[in-house]
């Protein structure tokens, strides 16, 4: 979230799209309804009428996988009717920038941008650039009238997304389409705010990243970024998934969103040189220029502090990616399936149900030599070898199960979607033999390190030279009880030697006050620069419980702590005009008093933009402004609608380019029958999507073990509309079989008006939906909907496309 | 020659007294369900649950004996004639002392009416009792109606029983003899059931 | 003590069913083994182990389609049919706060309350004793909110001073269901629709036959019984019995 949960109440218009917040983030509705109490309009756009839609002022159905078309139409509506916030765009975005005249767009290139290579399935992005002056600063036209400026190109690009065309793609009746557009675009004025609440309904597509880009563009056009009640808000699906992402859950980043080193980046200097963004604009803060400080401090936290600058502080010991390597989820299991991976720690997850194309995942695990599952309960992953279709005698995988403590059984921090890191305390001791994750890791560390010391082996230093000071070491040299505060302090970082900064002396061993004090000379450590400031000499900021709200807009700055540096609303310098005065006088986030900023922690403390010597407002981007034109994406600087890999129509109505042209196509490349897909195929004529339900969590490992929750949602179901049900002779409560190219599941039919057939391209298209919270390990509950989902990922992130695929449905024989 | 004539067979008498006992068990086990005032009567049965059980058992006994008794005398009790009309017209002669008795068969018109009422009430109480045997088993509206009717017929029966007992005992001395040991005095028969008396004496 | 009550604001209910679970947790109620019957609504009815549940109501088609959620539970009537029909004084009762509580030790398993209730709420457990939502009378008596109210994330369920809740609901322009019916419900709905939209009776009342039984037949019956006894006695002492002795002849008679 750029903003935070409480801030939703400040919105005038709330769009919930790509998410079903009422069901999957029930607490969010406390704030959604508070906003409605104050007159806010709630818009729900979803293929299915959900519990969110039930509370909405306007509900608009759309066919799964057509969000860019829907939102593209909104961009056209905003530009055609000049509903955008001009002054905001001029100050805070690249809308006035002039683009390379050689740049060409899908309207001219049949669905492609300039620079596409059919052979490489990727773009040469050289034309996706700005015209620059002699100093290398982008040229711009403040009037935003130049035909080559970003705003004009944006308008030209989306001029193809007329309501007729959009409705014909999405299946949304034009009336509802326009209702949503009008309501949302009404916030393009100072003093009005609209927010978007999205989740996996947007990300889990082959165009997932571009779905969010499209919305970010809309928010920038309307001036909704940085303000109270605005922002682009990802609703994270687990209580601490934000925290785990911050601390490098993903393969391509190190803690604090530092890029993972590549094997060709031989030393620390090269890493810094290659990964640090540059700018020629003296007005751009380009905060990532500090990368050297953050990576150096990270290394100092990671590895034994005896490692010297000459030894690159242990840079060589970091794991590295081969150049061009993608080590995302789909790739890991693809390689596991092919026998390249021998061992697997499945820690707090259940890939046998959560992984897209779960059938392939289960087969892949049978190729392992060993697997360690760390979980609260036995689950379909731990017991995959005795699951349906498995022959235990033929599976050689040795499976270990480590019972682990639940969140209530341990102390530590949880970072919520709003980036608040909140300290929690142990409520009850762990049950039975289960242990805290940290204790398990501690034990693993000492045992593995000891083995390396005794027996040697390949590259032992990566383990033996880790710093591991998380508690009192006994006479055997081991830590027997992890001090979780020591971990939190290491994440914040220490001064490793006495250091004078801005005239103040910081002693060795002191906690670093904030990331502005981190050094690239090895004198500071920080396990995650973004969290530097979270545990300081003033104490554990995460444990704060102050309830004052001097801002009046619900920032609660003394409640826990929020990254970065307790800034509650990101990009908040865009919430003010050039003189530092808030666009929204009633709900100001920050404001300039003439001598300083008041309100939230500003996004850089420089003076207002009208004053000399300041820096631009989007400090994390090299150009200092928000990117309406975003060349960082793989598919193009503007979003373009492409059909899902599996879709019900022959042709993309917008162009000759049917699917995202830069996705990795597993089936074509590998030829595995497990990766097969059927697009516009009579055998699988119905669009399907997957979702969660309020009553279960993720694959349901926790919730399926709670009888009260199982009572409410006892078994696998499929929702379908009455017309399709009639055609197929299915009644509510019947058991049916849902099948895709990859597998099949049995489910109870819920025949409901909440799904409606879509009119697309003159034909009637039916969509069905299934939850993915069940698994065969719970008696009579059914199996995972992910047995149906495809092996295909988003071009930028490789998140699997589980939200739009094709199935067939028939009554169980 | 005996001063007595036979009025009720041993069968009649046994059935009647089983019926009577069942009736009092029903009254005392049911009153606790009827109003809080009588809740203490459940103590006679060892508690409310046991009281309810006793009520159900006594209810079956009552239903069977009441139907048997009615059927045993249906021939006499279901036939009304002109004398019965006169009897009703004179309120059975109960409104003044020493009036001339209107000639009646084995049972006078009031007794016949009570027999019919008892039968109807028995069937009504039996049917509604069956519905509310398990008050959650049947449709709610039907159960609610049955609860109400069961209470209504209980009340009517209670009032009828008071009249019946009074008239069969102190109200008409000598009447109870017939139900106690089977015979009534001829003088009683001549007075209260002159037509029946003539029949049995054979005059 | 001022009467306490629930106000259930249907416009704020997202059917998360936290109330269902919180209730089971506090009241230590087991789960019923359930199957999906083609609906989210599960279990389909209140059970001895389910004191409150969300009813999922789908109505209409296309643009007129609505999906409404109603928290079903004991509505804590001021004039409570269950208390009215209960033969065992104190088995069902009004608490100081006006909630309809019960004491299973006093329940005589007669099941009358099941039929006395206008809303078909009371259930009998495995021991054949009455169970239903009692508004967490144990928590309320100790100054806590009922478990369901505490769990509700959207303040759809509120509990407090009855008059204040009504005033607040009216002030925000909501239709209050149950303000006066049955001497005022102790669990009212602030409806964003008509009672029919929520499958609620327009004018809920104690079933007519139950009213007749308890409020008409019972008092008249007691009167009738003593009246009959009195009439017999009066008859005996005024008119007197029909004596058999032939020598008894009233003066002026034959």
For the record, the structure tokens of C247 come out as 């020598």
Angle at A655 (CA atoms; ends A651, A660), nearest 5 degrees: 80
Average the pLDDT over A380-392 and give the result. 96
- Taking contacts as CB-CB distances below 8 angstroms, the residues of chain C near B94 are 235, 239, 242
Q: Does A571 touch chain C (CB under 8 A)?
A: no
- Supply the pLDDT for residue B203: 58
Nearest by CB to residue C108, choosing from B49, B143, B192, is B49
Q: Does A437 touch chain C (CB under 8 A)?
A: no
Closest CA to A354 of A785, A648, A790: A785
pLDDT in tens, A4-39: 999 999 999 999 999 999 999 999 999 999 999 999
Inter-chain touch C65–A54, beta carbons under 8 Å: no
Chains with ≥3 CB–CB distances under 8 Å to C:
A, B
The answer to whether A45 touches A52, Cβ cutoff 8 Å, is no
Interatomic CA distance for residues A186 and A147, integer angstroms = 26
Q: Does C25 touch chain A (CB under 8 A)?
A: yes
- Taking contacts as CB-CB distances below 8 angstroms, the residues of chain C near B96 are 239
Inter-chain touch C36–A732, beta carbons under 8 Å: no
Contact yes or no, A with B (3+ CB pairs under 8 Å): no
Contact yes or no, A with C (3+ CB pairs under 8 Å): yes
For the record, the structure tokens of A132 come out as 């620059």
* DSSP character string of A749-812: EEE-TTB--EEETTEEE-EEEEE----TTSTTS---GGGT--S-B-TTT--B--SSEEEEEEE-
- Taking 80 as the threshold, does the pLDDT of residue C1 lie above it? no
Q: What is the ipTM of this complex?
A: 0.93
Interface A:C, Cβ pairs < 8 A: 110
Inter-chain touch B97–C250, beta carbons under 8 Å: yes
pLDDT in tens, B64-103: 999 999 999 999 899 899 989 999 988 888 888 777 888 8
Q: Sketch the domain layout of chain C as residue ranges.
A: 4-205, 207-240
Pick the CATH number of A329-464 from 1.10.20.10, 3.40.190.10, 3.10.620.30, 3.40.50.740: 3.40.50.740
Q: Does C203 touch chain B (CB under 8 A)?
A: no
Task: Determine the distance in angstroms separating the CA of A732 from the nearest CA of chain C, rounded to an integer.
Answer: 5
For the record, the structure tokens of C116 come out as 């006395």
Q: Is the pTM of this model over 0.80?
A: yes
Q: Does B24 touch chain C (CB under 8 A)?
A: no
For the record, the structure tokens of A384 come out as 């995959």
The CATH class, in words, for A666-811 is mainly beta
- Taking contacts as CB-CB distances below 8 angstroms, the residues of chain B near C249 are 98
Topology of the domain covering A5-95+160-234: Dimethylsulfoxide Reductase; domain 2 (3.40.228)
Q: Sketch the domain layout of chain A as residue ranges.
A: 5-95+160-234, 252-323+494-531, 329-464, 666-811
- Supply the pLDDT for residue C252: 43
Query: Pairing state of beta strands A232-234 and A194-198?
Result: parallel
Least confident stretch, A50-54, B2-6, B149-153: B2-6
Inter-chain touch B42–C108, beta carbons under 8 Å: yes
Confidence of residue C254 (pLDDT cuts 50, 70, 90): very low
Q: What is the CATH number of the domain that holds B164?
A: 1.20.950.20
- Taking 70 as the threshold, does the pLDDT of residue A683 lie above it? yes
Output the CA torsion B42→B48→B51→B57 (10° steps).
160
All residues at 6 or more sequence positions from A61 whose CB lies less than 8 Å from its CB, including other chains: A45, A46, A47, A48, A49, A171, A172, A176, A756, A758
For chain A, give the percent of residues with pLDDT over 70: 100
The CATH class, in words, for C4-205 is alpha beta
Task: Determine the distance in angstroms separating the CA of C165 from the nearest CA of chain A, rounded to an integer.
Answer: 17
Inter-chain touch C241–B173, beta carbons under 8 Å: yes
Residue in A with minimal Cα distance to C42: A712
- Supply the pLDDT for residue A807: 98
- Taking contacts as CB-CB distances below 8 angstroms, the residues of chain A near C36 are 713-717, 733, 748, 750
- Supply the pLDDT for residue A641: 98
The answer to whether A42 touches A149, Cβ cutoff 8 Å, is no
Query: Which residue of A36, A59, A696, A711 is the best one to mutate when testing the C interface, meaning the one whose CB has the most C CBs within 10 A?
Result: A711
Q: How many CA atoms lie within 13 A of A392 on its CB side?
A: 8
Q: b vs e for A469-484, b when ≥16 Cβ sit within 10 Å of the residue's Cβ?
A: ebbeeeeeebbeebeb
Classify residue C213 by its DSSP letter: I
Conformation bin of residue C62: beta by default, left when phi > 0, alpha when psi is -120 to 50: left
- Taking 90 as the threshold, does the pLDDT of residue B201 lie above it? no
Angle at C250 (CA atoms; ends C246, C253), nearest 5 degrees: 95
Q: Residue C193 CA to chain centroid, in angstroms?
A: 23
Residue in A with minimal Cα distance to C33: A711
- Taking contacts as CB-CB distances below 8 angstroms, the residues of chain B near C111 are 134-136
Confidence of residue C253 (pLDDT cuts 50, 70, 90): very low
Nearest by CB to residue C254, choosing from B100, B158, B170, is B100
- Supply the pLDDT for residue C244: 78
All residues at 6 or more sequence positions from A45 whose CB lies less than 8 Å from its CB, including other chains: A15, A16, A17, A59, A60, A61, A62, A67, A70, A172, A180
Largest CA distance in chain B: 63
Could you give the 3-state DSSP secondary structure of residue A35?
helix
Other CB atoms within a 10 A radius of the CB of residue A432 amount to 6
- Supply the pLDDT for residue B1: 61
The answer to whether A625 touches A619, Cβ cutoff 8 Å, is no
Helical spans, DSSP H, in A553-705: 666-670
Average the pLDDT over A463-481 and give the result. 94
Q: Does C243 touch chain B (CB under 8 A)?
A: yes
């Amino acid at each position: 979230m750029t903003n935070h949960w409480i801030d939703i109440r400040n919105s005038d218009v709330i769009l919930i799209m790509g998410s079903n917040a009422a069901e999957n983030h029930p607490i969010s509705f406390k704030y959604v309804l508070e906003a409605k109490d104050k007159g806010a309009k709630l818009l729900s756009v979803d293929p299915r009428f959900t519990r969110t839609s039930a509370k909405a002022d306007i509900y608009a159905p759309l066919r799964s996988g057509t969000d860019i078309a829907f939102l593209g139409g909104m961009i056209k509506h905003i530009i055609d009717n000049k509903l955008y916030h001009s002054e905001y765009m001029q100050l805070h975005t690249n809308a006035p920038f002039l683009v390379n005249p050689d740049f060409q767009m899908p309207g001219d290139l049949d669905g492609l941008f300039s620079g596409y290579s059919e052979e490489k399935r990727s773009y040469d992005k050289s034309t996706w650039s700005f015209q620059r002056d002699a100093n290398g600063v982008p040229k711009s036209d403040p009037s935003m009238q130049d035909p080559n400026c970003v705003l004009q190109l944006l308008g030209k690009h989306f001029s193809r997304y007329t309501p007729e065309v959009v409705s014909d793609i999405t299946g949304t009746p034009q009336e509802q389409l326009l209702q949503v557009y009008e309501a949302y675009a009404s916030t393009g004025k100072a003093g009005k705010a609209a927010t978007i609440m999205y989740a996996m309904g947007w990300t889990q597509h082959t165009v997932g990243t571009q779905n969010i880009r499209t919305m970010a563009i809309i928010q920038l056009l309307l001036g909704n970024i940085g303000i109270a009640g605005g922002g682009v808000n990802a609703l994270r699906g687990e209580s601490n998934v934000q925290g785990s992402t911050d601390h490098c859950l993903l393969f391509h980043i190190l803690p604090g969103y530092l890029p993972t080193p590549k094997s060709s980046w031989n030393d620390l200097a090269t890493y810094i040189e290659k990964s640090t963004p540059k700018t020629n604009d003296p007005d751009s803060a380009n905060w990532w220029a500090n990368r050297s400080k953050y990576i150096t401090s990270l290394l100092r936290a990671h590895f034994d502090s005896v490692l010297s600058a000459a030894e690159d502080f242990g840079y060589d010991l970091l794991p590295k990616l081969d150049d061009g390597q993608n080590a995302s989820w789909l790739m890991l299991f693809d390689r596991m399936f092919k026998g390249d991976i021998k061992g697997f720690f499945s820690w707090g997850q259940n890939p046998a149900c959560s992984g897209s194309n779960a059938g392939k995942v289960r087969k892949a695990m049978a190729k392992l030599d060993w697997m360690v599952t760390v979980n609260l309960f036995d689950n379909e992953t731990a017991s995959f070898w005795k699951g349906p279709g498995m022959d235990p005698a033929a599976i050689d995988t040795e499976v270990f199960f480590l019972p682990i403590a639940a969140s209530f059984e341990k102390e530590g921090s949880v970072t919520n979607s709003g980036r608040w890191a909140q300290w929690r305390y142990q409520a009850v001791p762990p049950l039975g033999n289960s242990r805290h994750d940290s204790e398990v890791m501690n034990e693993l560390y000492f045992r593995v390190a000891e083995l390396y010391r005794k027996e040697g082996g390949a590259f032992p230093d990566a383990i033996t030279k880790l710093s591991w000071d998380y508690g009192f070491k006994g006479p055997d040299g081991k830590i027997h009880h992890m001090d979780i505060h020591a971990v939190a302090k290491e994440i914040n970082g220490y001064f490793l030697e006495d250091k004078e900064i801005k005239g103040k002396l910081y002693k060795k061993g002191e906690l670093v006050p904030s990331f502005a004090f981190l050094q690239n000379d090895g004198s500071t450590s920080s396990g995650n620069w973004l969290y530097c400031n979270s545990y300081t000499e003033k104490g554990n900021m995460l444990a704060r419980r102050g309830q004052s709200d001097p801002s009046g807009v619900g920032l609660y700055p003394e409640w826990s702590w929020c990254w970065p540096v307790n800034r509650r609303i990101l990009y908040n310098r865009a919430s003010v005009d050039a003189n530092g005065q808030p666009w929204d006088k009633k709900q100001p986030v920050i404001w300039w008093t003439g001598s300083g900023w008041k309100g939230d922690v500003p996004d850089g403390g420089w003076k207002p933009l009208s004053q000399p010597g300041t820096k631009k407002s989007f400090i994390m981007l090299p150009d200092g402004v928000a990117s309406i034109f975003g060349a960082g994406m793989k598919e193009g600087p503007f979003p373009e609608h492409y059909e899902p890999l599996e879709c019900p129509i022959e042709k993309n109505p917008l162009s000759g380019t049917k699917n995202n042209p830069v996705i990795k196509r597993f089936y074509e490349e590998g030829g595995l029958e497990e990766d097969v897909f059927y697009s516009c195929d009579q055998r699988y004529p119905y669009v399907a999507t997957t979702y969660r339900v309020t009553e279960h969590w993720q694959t349901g490992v926790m919730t399926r073990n709670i009888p009260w929750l199982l009572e409410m949602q006892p078994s696998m179901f499929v929702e379908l509309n009455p017309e399709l049900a009639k055609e197929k002779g299915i009644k509510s409560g019947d058991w049916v079989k849902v099948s895709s190219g990859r597998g099949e599941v049995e489910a109870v039919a819920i025949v409901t008006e909440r799904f409606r057939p879509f009119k697309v391209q003159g034909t009637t298209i039916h969509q069905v939906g299934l939850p993915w919270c069940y698994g065969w390990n719970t008696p009579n509950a059914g199996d995972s909907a992910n047995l149906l989902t495809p092996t295909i990922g988003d071009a930028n992130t490789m998140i699997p496309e589980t939200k739009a695929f094709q199935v067939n449905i028939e009554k169980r024989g | 020659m005996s001063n007595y004539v036979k009025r009720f067979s041993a069968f009649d008498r046994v059935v009647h007294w089983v019926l009577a006992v069942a009736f009092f068990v029903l009254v005392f086990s049911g009153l606790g369900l009827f109003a809080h005032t009588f809740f203490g009567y459940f103590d006679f049965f060892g508690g409310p649950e046991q009281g309810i059980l006793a009520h159900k058992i006594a209810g079956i006994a009552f239903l069977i004996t009441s139907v048997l008794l009615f059927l045993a005398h249906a021939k006499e009790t279901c036939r009304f004639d002109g004398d019965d009309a006169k009897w009703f017209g004179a309120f059975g002669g109960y409104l003044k002392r020493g009036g001339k008795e209107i000639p009646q068969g084995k049972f006078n018109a009031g007794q016949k009416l009570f027999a019919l009422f008892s039968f109807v009430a028995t069937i009504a109480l039996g049917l509604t009792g069956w519905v509310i045997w398990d008050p959650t088993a049947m449709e709610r509206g039907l159960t609610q109606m049955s609860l109400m009717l069961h209470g209504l017929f209980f009340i009517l029966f209670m009032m009828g029983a008071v009249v019946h007992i009074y008239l069969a005992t102190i109200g008409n001395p000598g009447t109870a003899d017939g139900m106690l040991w089977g015979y009534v005095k001829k003088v009683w028969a001549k007075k209260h059931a002159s037509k029946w008396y003539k029949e049995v004496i054979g005059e | 003590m001022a009467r306490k009550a629930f106000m259930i604001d249907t416009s704020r209910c997202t059917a998360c069913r936290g109330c269902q679970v919180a209730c089971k947790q506090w009241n230590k109620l087991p789960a019923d083994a359930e199957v999906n019957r083609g609906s989210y609504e599960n279990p389909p009815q209140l059970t001895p182990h389910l004191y409150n549940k969300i009813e999922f109501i789908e109505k209409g088609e296309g643009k007129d389609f609505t999906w409404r959620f109603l928290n079903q539970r004991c509505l804590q009537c001021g004039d409570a049919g269950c208390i009215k029909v209960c033969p065992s004084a104190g088995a069902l009762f009004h608490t100081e706060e006006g909630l309809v509580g019960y004491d299973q030790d006093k329940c005589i398993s007669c099941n009358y309350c099941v039929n006395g209730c206008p809303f078909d709420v009371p259930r009998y457990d495995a021991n054949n004793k009455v169970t239903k939502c009692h508004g967490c009378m144990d928590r309320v008596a100790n100054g806590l909110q009922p478990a369901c109210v505490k769990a509700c994330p959207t303040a759809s369920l509120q509990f407090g001073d009855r008059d204040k809740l009504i005033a607040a609901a009216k002030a925000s322009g909501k239709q209050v269901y149950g303000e006066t019916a049955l001497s005022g419900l102790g669990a009212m709905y602030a409806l964003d629709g008509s009672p029919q939209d929520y499958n609620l009776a327009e004018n809920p009342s104690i079933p007519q036959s139950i009213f007749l039984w308890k409020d008409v037949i019972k008092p008249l019956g007691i009167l009738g019984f003593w009246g009959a006894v009195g009439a017999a006695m009066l008859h005996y002492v005024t008119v007197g019995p029909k004596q058999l002795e032939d020598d008894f002849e009233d003066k002026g008679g034959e």
